[in-house]
Structure 1
Amino acid sequence: MPTDRATVPRSHAPLRWPVEPAQGGWYTDAEAEAARVVMAESSDWRVGWKSAEYVAAFEEAFTAFTGARFAIAFNSGGTALEMLLHYLQLQPGDEVIVCAVNFVGPLIAVIGQGGRLVLAEPEPVTLNLDPADAERVITSRTRAILVTHWNGAVADIRPFLELADRHPNPVHGPPVVIVDAARACGGRTPVGAHVGAEGWATMFSFESKKLMTTYGQGGLITTNDQALAEQLHWLRTYGGTEHWGTNQMMTKAQAAVGLVQLSRLDEMNDARIQQAHRRNRSLADIDELTLPPTRHDRRHLYYRHSLLVPDAWAGEGRDELMDILAARHGLGSIISDRPPYLFHRLIRDHTAGQHCPLAESLTSRLLCPCLHPRMNPSDEAEITQVIRQATAHLARTRPTLRPRRG
């Protein structure tokens, strides 16, 4: 059975390499200069910190980068997704399909906006939402299909658009396809487009650990739907004079730094991909580990470096491997992401009676050792060596967990 843990035990401290990086990208003198300029000009009481001009420039740059018609920036990815769902005005019984392998945020957003959360299985290679299982659970009450580019492995959105067209809601028409790209900013789809141009709307997060960050928080939605874009503008700024809304604006400093981060995003992602590919090559001959897939038809960003241990090591064996890595070698790792109904009470209560056995099985084999593009070569070499040593030790000392050979 899956455990309730998400990382190594807290007693393993200090770690030489943390369970995950505290910042996904990195800053340069250009970000510091952008912040300095904003600070200097905003110190004038006539100017202050009103953010509209900088936010508009950031949004315009994002539309140019992704190819979407509209971009609407928010103070976080979580609030952006909540307002996107708020636009749908979900009624009791309206369903939103979400992959069971997921961060809690999208699931909580669906519940908070009044939707009925419907969980579906992942496909076993990328752990993205499986279109076939989404079709199994879709009904006439389905209002939306939420597709997460899990851990940077870009999903193919086209099957979900086709699925929505085949199963229209009798009142609202085809369910909308919402894309969660919190961990895939800068990715490319199988049709060669940047993530953000497909589906009804795409949510991005610029929280500290993400691939680019705007001072630790920030979010954005891209869409080609003009009515949605106009309403989102009202929703984030108290609704103007006619609508309901709240204050969810991105700050001036966030937008200024975001412009620089966006200009460097491909550079930072390229470094991350190269680091992940080096790790893949170093671990390729370890029979006990299944490495994250290398996708040649799209851009896998390796937000986390996801490893799977054999079925025979699921749960207990995986946990022991994480303990060995931490206690003996100082290498932290995280289980990203177990089905939230296994550990989150609200989600468990909301989805009572729903179980996703494949999601539970896959994530009981999952661990993600720390990876960051700024790790120096000696650190990366040592990390791959300790993963090799810990895996070999477990295979020797726990023969009942040894994987079966074909």
Structure 2
Amino acid sequence: MPTDRATVPRSRSRLRWPVEPAQGGWYTAAEHAAVDALLAESDNWRIGWKAAVGVAAFEEAFAVYTGSRCAVAFNSGGTALEMLLRCLHLGPEDEVVSCAVNFVGPHLAVIGQGARLVLAEPALPTLNLDPADTERVLSARTRAIVVTHWNGAVCDLRPFVELAARHPHPVHGPPRVIVDAARACGGRSPSGARVGAEGWATMFSFESKKLMTTLGQGGMVTTNDAFLAERLRQLRTYGGTQEWGTNQMMTKAQAAVGLVQLARLDEMNDARIARAHQRTTLLSDVEELTPPPTLPDRQHLYYRHNLLVPETWAGRGRDALMETLAREYGVGSIISDRPAYLFHRRVREHVGGRSCPRAERLIDRLLCPCLHPRIPAADEQQITDAIRQATAQVARTYPAP
């Protein structure tokens, strides 16, 4: 059921603050120094840009940080997830469950590996994958459950591990719990573990907008399965001497910047969390808006600051708020993330008319105004004031129940 609803305001010419930041993790003199040192070193024809040593150092540091046994770097989070799924040797009868509220990338990765994508509903308050609805759609053909820490709200993986144990595949055993942590690098789960230490494997992205970034692209897989880690290393470097593979290596410049970013990740995340909590506090008396949960039993990293409008505003009222923010106050916002079957032809054809009504209802209430720790405090106050005033304006037309 395609729709033409925009995911960003249509009135973008007056935006003072963009729909979302172009860079998540920011750079300091340390990142610049790391790149300058590599430029000087790699200009030597005997040394060049061979990446192995530098990438290995980044992988080792990342594994230690996350508390995982192994870390394998890739040139992007997307290719990392594709190769992870490839290790399952999926066929057209195999099913992979994923949340309908999600970035399109994981869904396309499943389809691209030849498996059947099965969408399940999100759960409030996080909009992460709902364990109860996941159990509803599990079958004897389920090979994996992809659990996304959506917009930085760390998901409790234990219910999914238990579900997998109770619903084994007749040939391959319990479905693999694969974690998409593209927007949750540095988080902690309710068990106290770092994101990346639990599940069969966890994918991270270091794309420009992410919580830490390696020159605009890059990715990592963490796992406690040494055999899987070795298979991934072969896949990213032409398959070793025996198997199919391709070149998906991270560069040593990305790895060098990644080491610096990793050392600063907690500092950057703390700043983001503090800014998000400040915004939530400042909007706490706006009864029409439901802010993102604080999740005291785990770490919410607020990749985006999600706001939900009342059910009576769903769709048109929410769109009116986004347009008012953009047109009259210059505040950009984004809808993150509409079910992909609503706008992506390949996903729509693949799911064949199956839908997730709860996901659609929730997404029709969602907007994410621009948030970043480096927005000046005075600007943040103006953004918060704009959200308050725009909401009051829209409430005259779309009153809350």
- TM-score of the superposed pair, with normalisation by structure 1: 0.98
Cα deviations by residue, 1:341-399 (Å, 9 ceiling, x for unpaired): 00000000000131100000000000000000111110010000000000001112x0x
8 Å CA contact retained: 1:135, 1:163: yes
Structure 2 unmatched ranges of 5 or more? none
CA distance in 2, matches of 1:136, 1:285: 38
State whether structure 2 residue 278 is matched by structure 1 residue 240: no
Identify the residue that residue 73 of structure 2 maps to in structure 1.
73
Runs of 4+ in 1 over 6 A off after TM superposition: none
Q: Which amino acid aligns with 1:402?
A: P
State whether structure 2 residue 202 is matched by structure 1 residue 202: yes
Identify the residue that residue 62 of structure 2 maps to in structure 1.
62
CA distance in 2, matches of 1:268, 1:183: 13
CA RMSD of aligned residues (A): 0.9
Q: Which amino acid aligns with 1:155?
A: C
8 Å CA contact retained: 1:122, 1:130: yes
SS at match of 2:278: helix
8 Å CA contact retained: 1:176, 1:200: yes
Q: Which amino acid aligns with 1:121?
A: E
Q: Which amino acid aligns with 1:4?
A: R
8 Å CA contact retained: 2:238, 2:246: yes
Q: Which amino acid aligns with 2:163?
A: L
CA distance in 2, matches of 1:78, 1:4: 26
State whether structure 2 residue 399 is matched by structure 1 residue 402: yes
**Identity percentage of aligned residues:** 70
Identify the residue that residue 30 of structure 1 maps to in structure 2.
30
CA distance in 1, matches of 2:120, 2:25: 31
- TM-score of the superposed pair, with normalisation by structure 2: 0.99
SS at match of 1:276: helix
CA distance in 2, matches of 1:281, 1:314: 24
CA distance in 1, matches of 2:352, 2:284: 40
Structure 1 unmatched ranges of 5 or more? none
SS at match of 1:55: helix
SS at match of 2:264: helix
SS at match of 2:303: coil
Q: Which amino acid aligns with 2:400?
A: P
**Following superposition of structure 1 onto structure 2, how do residues 3-402 of structure 1 map, counting pairs within 5 Å?**
4-9=5-10, 11-396=11-396, 398=397, 401-402=398-399
Cα deviations by residue, 1:252-279 (Å, 9 ceiling, x for unpaired): 1000000000000000000000000000
8 Å CA contact retained: 2:14, 2:326: no
Cα deviations by residue, 1:49-94 (Å, 9 ceiling, x for unpaired): 0000000000000011000000000000000000000110101110
SS at match of 1:88: coil
How far is the alpha carbon of 1:12 from its aligned partner? 2.1
CA distance in 1, matches of 2:245, 2:349: 29
SS at match of 2:123: coil
Number of equivalenced pairs: 400
CA distance in 2, matches of 1:315, 1:84: 36
How far is the alpha carbon of 1:330 from its aligned partner? 0.4
How far is the alpha carbon of 1:120 from its aligned partner? 0.1
